[in-house]
């Protein structure tokens, strides 16, 4: 296809496709899907080789959020039967992070539900970052705490945060359809605050909420303009007890086309395969590694993911390798620009500066990542020395199960009952 040859040439030059070309990728036929993956894979390998960066989520505070994001199981009024607990102590969070690092994660993403942190919360997270860095000097830390107030980004950077995640999620035109308690502009402002403070910015999207192809192209072009170092691509898991519980619109083929489109629009950016990959891509997950150069290891915020050992086996079987801490994630031109801005993320190894934030970063923010899951979770061999405990009010038995919705795939969604906030070993 001439379209694909054009897109590969543009990607190698870091030139964006036109909107019409991006829409054409989403409209390709299933018969052409492998050609689309192969073309986008050339761009991915040109900038990131065959490396796959592993990232690990720690949910510092689960549920109890005052925002009304329709896709989120932690939202105001959510009936989802998720874990609910207040802030983990720094030593508990550090122990949870250690499980991910032991499993091969290069980045730890610290996520907390809520509209945004108070100054006291920033201090609490700062102590947590320091506790993690004391035990794992080379690990990258990304914070995802919601909307930031003046000065908070700088405080997090000074505490050792390498990156900050805040997703745009969908197009500006449709943002009000999924959230009313804050605006699209609020999210853009927070991403820019993180960049201005010298942190690596991580910002992405959620596909599968009923958006059009035009909406998907709009949000990805907006992300390119915002220029985060990493773009996490989440695929909505319609969790029981949320307003989008019946939104099952994605197929493995559509997910691959979306990932390919993102890679063509953002050729030299870390594209992270994030929430929902297990249940929407299913057996085609290995093909997605030819498009994305970063994934989350193990479980997500409120749902369980594929077993960590299976993630590692998938990477090896597909002919890829786990990226080490001695390797800079981003291409040199992006790493150098990030270093000049004062950020240190991804700067391990010979190249200076840079971040590979699902960004190099972070997970889908406290909301998007709650949508990922797996049908057959398994316990990992990597167990923190001191697992976190569940506050009395957050015990799983005390959480009511949601009433199943007609047409929902409850067989594919497993609410997280292990790892951070519980006495059980994590999956990493």
pLDDT digits (tens, 9 = 90+) for 18-62: 999 999 999 999 999 999 999 999 999 999 999 999 999 999 999
**Catalytic residue ranges:** 65, 69, 72, 109, 142, 202, 272
DSSP-assigned letters across all residues of 183-206: -HHHHHHHHHHHHHTTPEEE--EE
Q: Which residues of the chain have pLDDT under 50?
A: 344-406, 408
The pLDDT value recorded for residue 343 is 56
Most distant CA pair in the chain: distance in Å? 61
Element (H, E) at 281: helix 277-281
The pLDDT value recorded for residue 82 is 83
Please give the structure tokens belonging to residue 407.
């047409």
Sequence-distant (≥ 6) Cβ neighbours of residue 2 within 8 angstroms? none
The pLDDT value recorded for residue 409 is 60
Label the pairing between strands 321-322 and 200-202. unpaired
Which residue bears the tokens 């316990």? 379
Compute CA 152 distance to the chain's CA centroid, rounded to the nearest angstrom: 21
Compute CA 176 distance to the chain's CA centroid, rounded to the nearest angstrom: 22
Q: Can you give the pTM of this predicted structure?
A: 0.85
The pLDDT value recorded for residue 350 is 33
The pLDDT value recorded for residue 411 is 72
Domains of the chain and CATH, by start? 2-412 (3.20.20.70)
Measured from the Cβ of residue 180, the count of other Cβ atoms closer than 10 Å reads 12
Per residue, the 3-state secondary structure of 70-123, as one string, reads CCCCCCCCCCCCCCCECCCCHHHHHHHHHHHHHCCCCEEEEEECCCCCCHHHHH
Contact 393, 353 (CB under 8 A): no
Please give the structure tokens belonging to residue 216.
């998907």
29 exposed, middle or buried (CB, 10 Å; 0-12, 13-18, 19+)? exposed
Q: What angle do CA 13, 326, 272 make, to 5 degrees?
A: 50
Q: Within 13 A of 340's CA, how many CA atoms are on the CB side?
A: 6
The pLDDT value recorded for residue 410 is 59
Measured from the Cβ of residue 401, the count of other Cβ atoms closer than 10 Å reads 12
Distance between CA atoms of residues 242 and 218, nearest Å: 25
The pLDDT value recorded for residue 391 is 37
pLDDT digits (tens, 9 = 90+) for 149-208: 999 999 999 999 999 999 999 999 999 999 999 999 999 999 999 999 999 999 999 999
The pLDDT value recorded for residue 119 is 97
Which residue bears the tokens 């395969």? 273
Question: Of 268, 321, 325, 391, whose CA–CA distance to 14 is shortest?
Answer: 268
The pLDDT value recorded for residue 374 is 34
The pLDDT value recorded for residue 122 is 98
Distance between CA atoms of residues 140 and 163, nearest Å: 8
Compute CA 414 distance to the chain's CA centroid, rounded to the nearest angstrom: 18
- DSSP letter for 398, please: G
């Amino acid at each position: 296809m001439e379209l694909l040859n054009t897109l590969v040439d543009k990607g190698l030059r870091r030139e964006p496709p036109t909107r019409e070309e991006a829409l054409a990728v989403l409209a390709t036929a299933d018969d052409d899907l492998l050609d689309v993956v192969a073309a986008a894979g050339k761009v991915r390998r040109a900038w990131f080789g065959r490396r796959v960066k592993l990232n690990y989520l720690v949910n510092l505070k689960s549920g109890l959020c005052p925002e009304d994001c329709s896709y989120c199981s932690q939202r105001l009024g959510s009936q989802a039967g998720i874990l609910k607990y207040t802030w983990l102590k720094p030593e508990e969070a550090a122990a949870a992070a250690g499980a991910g690092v032991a499993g091969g994660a290069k980045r730890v993403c610290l996520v907390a539900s809520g509209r945004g942190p108070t100054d006291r919360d920033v201090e609490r997270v700062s102590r947590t970052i320091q506790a993690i860095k004391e035990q794992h000097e080379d690990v990258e830390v990304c914070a995802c705490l919601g909307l930031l107030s003046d000065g908070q980004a700088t405080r997090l950077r000074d505490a050792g945060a390498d990156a900050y995640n805040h997703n745009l999620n969908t197009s500006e035109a449709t943002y009000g359809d999924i959230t009313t308690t804050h605006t699209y502009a609020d999210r853009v402002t927070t991403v820019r605050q993180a960049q201005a403070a010298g942190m690596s910015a991580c910002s992405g999207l959620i596909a599968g909420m009923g958006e059009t192809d035009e909406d998907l192209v709009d949000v990805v072009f907006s992300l390119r303009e915002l220029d985060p170092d990493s773009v996490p691509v989440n695929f909505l898991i319609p969790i029981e007890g949320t307003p989008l519980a019946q939104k099952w619109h994605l197929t493995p083929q559509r997910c691959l086309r979306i990932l390919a489109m993102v890679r063509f629009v953002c050729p030299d950016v870390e594209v992270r395969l994030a929430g929902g990959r297990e249940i929407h891509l299913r057996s085609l997950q290995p093909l997605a590694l030819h498009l994305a150069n970063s994934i989350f290891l193990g479980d997500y915020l409120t749902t369980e993911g594929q077993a960590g050992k299976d993630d590692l086996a998938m990477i090896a079987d597909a002919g890829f390798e786990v990226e080490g801490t001695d390797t800079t994630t981003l291409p040199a031109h992006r790493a150098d620009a990030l270093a000049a801005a004062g950020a240190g993320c991804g700067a391990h190894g010979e190249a200076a500066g840079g971040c590979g934030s699902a960004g190099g970063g972070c997970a889908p923010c406290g909301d998007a990542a709650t949508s990922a899951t797996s049908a057959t979770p398994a316990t990992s061999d990597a167990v923190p020395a001191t697992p976190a405990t569940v506050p009395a009010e957050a015990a799983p038995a005390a959480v009511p199960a949601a009433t199943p919705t007609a047409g929902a795939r409850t067989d594919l969604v497993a609410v997280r009952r292990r790892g951070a906030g519980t006495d059980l070993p994590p999956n990493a």
